[in-house]
Structure 1
Amino acid sequence: MIGLIQGEVIFSDGNEIILLTNSGIGHQIYFQHVLPEGSRAAIFISHIVREASEELFGFRSLREKKMFELLTTVKGVGPKSAFSLVSCLGVASIVDAVLFDNKKTLQKAPGVGAKAASQMILDLSGKVSKIKMYSPKIFTAKAMTTIGIEEGAKISFEYDESETEEPAVVAVYDEVILKDTLLACKELGFKEDKITPLAQRILSENQITRAEQLVHLVLKEV
């Protein structure tokens, strides 16, 4: 059973990611965060095996992974709904919602109705607090925040002590990327005062290494 995969990011769009491992195998993983293509990453995995298919769900921390796996034990909650809950609400919000019988919070996740929310509270009220025993630290690579890594350079992975799963993934904030993005958007007819705050927010929420990546994400939201 796969628990963690590390490798080079071949593709990442905020819905899925493909990681190419040293063995030459590219794993396609459901993952709700954008990582820069060409960087290296380590992602916690929940490996769901069914009779006719296998799916990999990716998480930034062990705590997120364990919350997902706990949610899938609830009657009527499948992997897609559990993944939606963890991705949209975060671990802390789910724990609070279950402990304080807050169905409305749980229903904010796509595909989760009143019945499913009630079942989660019923099934998890005595279990959800145990999630806090698992580490919330994000397993990340030094190279993910470094531009211009030489080919063949050794990449070391470690826990980032400054990050947990609640904030966004560690961001690469580069003034050159921002400047080039604003210039490209202005050439497309967009006003700088409208694009600037949007581009800055996207930079803070994702790991961007090229202006083209940022332009693409900005244009998806304008």
Structure 2
Amino acid sequence: MIGLIQGEVIFSDGNELILLTNSGIGHQIYFQHVLPEGSKAAIFISHIVREASEDLYGFRTLREKKMFEMLTTVKGVGPKSAFSLISSVGVGNIIDAILFENKKTLTKAPGIGAKAASQMILDLSNKVAKIKMYAGKSLVVNPQSSHDHVDNSQISFSLEPMEEEVSADMPIYDESILQDTLLACKELGFKEEKIVPLAQKIMTENQITRPEQLVHLVLKEV
């Protein structure tokens, strides 16, 4: 199975990408970002093989790839729907939505209805947190002349943060504190879609050690 492809960008329109390797093969990949033609790229790949077709879905980070592969294990969630969900919502928001049973966020992507969202929550609530262990940074190819074909022996890679992926690179904090805070606020009548982003922001800006602290700060701002 193909896990990563590196090569020269021959075509890119924000939906598909053609990447030419130095073996002379141009791989057509579903990819939701525009890359400059002639540039060099390294793309994480999920290789979907079916009876009548083979498709390559491309991702900038290993975390996105692993999230995609986990989503496609859910009954009723196909590759196109999972790909669309990651592109439109982001990995970090998907994790939060599953952990806090926020179906509204999960149904933002085309092809994901309430039933599929419920199944995601049921199947992945005890698994999805491990996605954070995978790298949330992109592989960057050292610049070369756009006129040269890709020479794998001369390409080196470095891990660099991606500005677009700030929400996907979730800050480290105690999930149990966040969950207890959400439950307390819901009992007071507040909606989770309003509480979760606010609580996350507070936890990244303050040293929170107890749910009571977080509840107090959240209630001051709602």
TM-score (norm 1): 0.70
Report the counterpart of residue 111 of structure 1 in structure 2. 111
8 Å CA contact 2:64, 2:86 repeated in 1: yes
Report the counterpart of residue 63 of structure 1 in structure 2. 63
How far off is 1:80 after superposition? 0.6
**Uncovered stretches (5+) of structure 1, i.e. residues with no partner:** 169-222
Report the counterpart of residue 40 of structure 1 in structure 2. 40
Equivalent-residue separation in structure 1 for 2:148 and 2:41 (angstroms): 16
Equivalent-residue separation in structure 2 for 1:151 and 1:29 (angstroms): 21
- Is 1:79 the counterpart of 2:79 in the alignment? yes
In the TM superposition, structure 1's runs of 4+ consecutive aligned residues that sit over 3 Å from their partners are: 148-155
Report the counterpart of residue 183 of structure 2 in structure 1. none
**Uncovered stretches (5+) of structure 2, i.e. residues with no partner:** 168-222
8 Å CA contact 1:61, 1:165 repeated in 2: no
Equivalent-residue separation in structure 1 for 2:166 and 2:42 (angstroms): 17
Cα distance change of structure 1 residues 14 and 50 upon mapping to structure 2, 3 Å threshold: same
2:112 counterpart letter in structure 1 = V
Equivalent-residue separation in structure 1 for 2:124 and 2:71 (angstroms): 8
TM-score (norm 2): 0.70
C-alpha distance after superposition, 1:128-152 (max 9, x if no partner): 0010111111111132xx8x65746
Equivalent-residue separation in structure 2 for 1:48 and 1:24 (angstroms): 22
C-alpha distance after superposition, 1:4-60 (max 9, x if no partner): 000000000000000000100000000000000000100000000011110000000
1:179-218 to 2 correspondence within 5 Å? none
Equivalent-residue separation in structure 2 for 1:112 and 1:90 (angstroms): 15
C-alpha distance after superposition, 1:169-212 (max 9, x if no partner): xxxxxxxxxxxxxxxxxxxxxxxxxxxxxxxxxxxxxxxxxxxx
How far off is 1:164 after superposition? 6.7
Equivalent-residue separation in structure 1 for 2:88 and 2:14 (angstroms): 12
SS of the equivalent of 2:92 reads helix
Equivalent-residue separation in structure 2 for 1:35 and 1:57 (angstroms): 15
- Give the length in aligned residue pairs: 164
SS of the equivalent of 2:162 reads strand
How far off is 1:156 after superposition? 2.6
